Amino acid sequence: MIKQCVHCDIEFDTESARKKEVGGRINECIDCVEELGTETAIKHRGLVDFTNNNIRVMSFKDKDELERFNKTKDSENSRLD
Ligand SMILES: [Zn+2]
């Protein structure tokens, strides 16, 4: 479906693979979602747990929670290195 972006008025395809990847609202174009950081639907992330070779799927309320988790993960990784 072709929609007009509510922020910058360009027309974009809501069904495009890129749009699905970046997410955001149905009336926001890819550029604006990326620029404004309006995507808040990142809720699940697959993780490989090397201790038992399991893939875990974590869920996150929002981007902030995901970022906090990533920071924790980074510090753990650096300790392991
Ligand atoms: Zn836009």
Distance 9 CA to ligand 1 centre (A): 6
| Tokens read off for 22 | 């970046």
| Residue 39 to residue 41: CA distance in whole angstroms | 6
pTM of the model: 0.49
Distance 32 CA to ligand 1 centre (A): 4
Within 10 angstroms of residue 41's Cβ, the number of other Cβ atoms is 12
pLDDT in tens, 44-61: 556 666 677 776 666 666
Distance 38 CA to ligand 1 centre (A): 11
Distance 69 CA to ligand 1 centre (A): 29
Name 42's Cβ contacts closer than 8 Å, sequence gap at least 6: 23, 60, 62, 63, 66
Question: Which one-letter amino acid corresponds to residue 31?
Answer: D
Residue with tokens 């875990």: 56
Q: pLDDT class for 36, splitting at 50, 70, 90?
A: confident
| Tokens read off for 47 | 């993780």
Distance 78 CA to ligand 1 centre (A): 38
